[in-house]
Amino acid sequence: MVLALLIFDDDNIRQLPVAERLAQCERIIKNDQDESKRWDATWLAGEIAENRNDKDPIFNQVADLMGWILENDDNNVVKHEACYQIAARNMRSKIPHLINSALNDESGLTKHEALESLGLMRATEAIGLINDALNDPNEDVRQTAAFVIKRLKRMQESGDYKPSSII
C-alpha cells in the first residue's frame, strides 16, 4: 500500500477527514487541467465509497461524482476509470450513466469499459439496451457488447448468482 500512496496520493488526500477528502477529489476532478491528476482523484474518490452502500450519503456523493465524470470529463482514460469505480463499488444508481456512455460516448475505450462494467455489475436489466452496441462502428465495442450479453444471459439462466455456476 505504501507504493499506492506514493503513486496516487501526491497531496496526502487520504489523510484528510472523509468529507474534506471528497471535496478535494471533486475540486481536482472538476477543475484541474492535468488528466493524470483527475485520474488519481477519481481513484481516490472511489476508495472513499469502498465498504459503503447506497444508504450512506457519502457513497451517493461519490456515485454522483462518477456520473459527473462520465458526462463532463474530456479524457477517455479518466472516464474509463469512472466506469471501473462505478462497477467496483456497485453503484447501481449509475447504471443509466454506464448505458449512456456505452451507447453514446465518442470513445471506444469509454464504451468498452462502460459495457464491461455493466457486465461486472450483473446488470441483466440492461441487456436490451446493450444490444444496440452490437451495431457500433468500433469492432472492440461490438465484441465487448456480444461478450457481456452472453455472460449476462448465462447469469440469468443460472438463477442465483454464483460465479462457479456460470462457468
The parent domain of residue 151 ranges over 2-166
Q: Which residues contact 60 (CB under 8 A, 6 or more apart)?
A: 54, 93
Whether this model's pTM surpasses 0.85? yes
**CA proximity to 18, closest of 78, 76, 61, 55:** 61
- Read off the CATH number of the domain in which 42 is found: 1.25.10.10
Count of the separate structural domains present in the chain: 1
Q: Quick one: pLDDT band at residue 13, thresholds 50, 70, 90?
A: confident
pLDDT of residue 130: 98
Q: What confidence tens digit (pLDDT) does each residue in 110-164 have?
A: 999 999 999 999 999 999 999 999 999 999 999 999 999 999 999 888 876 555 5
Do 45 and 25 touch, CB atoms closer than 8 A? yes
